[in-house]
């Protein structure tokens, strides 16, 4: 990695300043800074063979979605149009002037259609983003159980539907090891989510 990586990390820190990862806490009960997520995604992109532009885009992949479209030009100026294109590829909806986004299901359906039709470097970045999310969900399901779903706008059913559709959309279009990881972690989430329901049913019987 060149100096651009450090510059991208600084920009991501600025854009996500004060933001926390929804519903997550460390072992001390403190909320996790949001920056831990893009760093995790960038690490996965590098692990699965991404180039520098892809790694930088991974660091910045939520900047437009969470920070707003005003960040587009700083990204272009610092890293070029290719990185901006990759960040935009990973963005499933920008907030409007009032900070509102279109309805959750509408955004997810639109992003899935976009992903299924897409080619190029953005697919790897998006897949690593979703893998990082699945890994976080799996860890939280293990530690805190079903309450993990309260942090997601789509709830449990919507979230499980979305990730199942995403993993299918990535099939055959990302490195084999990454696809294996996606399918493995999705299966683990589905199994644990089902086990939690069975456990709750037994307790209420």
Task: List pLDDT tens digits, range 159-190.
Answer: 999 999 999 999 999 999 999 999 999 999 99
75-86: per-residue pLDDT in tens? Answer: 999 999 999 999
30-79: per-residue pLDDT in tens? Answer: 788 999 999 999 999 999 999 999 999 999 999 999 888 999 999 999 99
136-162: per-residue pLDDT in tens? Answer: 999 999 988 999 999 999 999 999 999
What one-character-per-residue DSSP string does 73-131 give?
Answer: HHHHHHH-HHHHHHHHHT-S----TTS----HHHHHHHHHHHHHH--STHHHHHHHHHH
Does the domain made of 3-204 have the CATH classification 3.40.50.300? no
User: SS3 for 25?
Assistant: strand
Query: Between these two residues, 2 and 117, which has the higher pLDDT value?
Result: 117
Res. 94: pLDDT tops 80: no
- The Cα–Cα gap between 21 and 109 comes to 24
pLDDT recorded at residue 101: 80
Res. 100: pLDDT tops 80: no
pLDDT recorded at residue 29: 64
pLDDT recorded at residue 166: 98
User: SS3 for 33?
Assistant: strand
pLDDT recorded at residue 201: 44
- The Cα–Cα gap between 21 and 81 comes to 28
Average pLDDT, the chain: 91
Res. 197: pLDDT tops 80: no
pLDDT recorded at residue 205: 42
Burial (CB count <10 Å: 0-12, 13-18, 19+), residue 171? exposed
Residue 96 CB neighbour total at 10 angstroms: 11
pTM: 0.91
C-alpha 11, offset from chain centre: 18
pLDDT recorded at residue 120: 93
- The Cα–Cα gap between 154 and 159 comes to 5
Query: Between these two residues, 194 and 1, which has the higher pLDDT value?
Result: 194
């Amino acid at each position: 990695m060149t100096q651009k990586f450090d510059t991208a990390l600084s920009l991501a820190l600025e854009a996500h300043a004060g933001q926390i990862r929804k519903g997550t806490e460390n072992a001390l009960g403190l909320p996790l800074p949001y920056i831990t997520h893009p760093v995790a995604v960038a690490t996965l992109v590098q692990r699965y063979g991404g180039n520098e532009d892809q790694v930088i885009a991974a660091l910045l992949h939520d900047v437009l979605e969470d920070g707003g479209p005003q960040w587009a030009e700083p990204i272009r100026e610092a890293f070029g149009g290719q990185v901006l294109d990759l960040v935009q590829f990973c963005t499933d909806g920008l907030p409007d002037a009032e900070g509102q986004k279109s309805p959750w299901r509408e955004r997810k359906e639109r992003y899935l259609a976009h992903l299924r039709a897409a080619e190029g470097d953005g697919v790897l970045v998006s897949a690593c983003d979703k893998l990082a999310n699945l890994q976080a969900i799996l860890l939280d399901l293990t530690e805190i159980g079903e309450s993990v779903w309260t942090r997601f706008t789509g709830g449990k059913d919507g979230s499980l539907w979305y990730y199942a559709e995403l993993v299918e959309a990535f099939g055959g279009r990302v490195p084999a090891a990454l696809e294996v990881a996606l399918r493995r972690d999705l299966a683990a989430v589905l199994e644990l989510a089902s086990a939690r329901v069975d456990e709750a049913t037994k307790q209420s019987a």
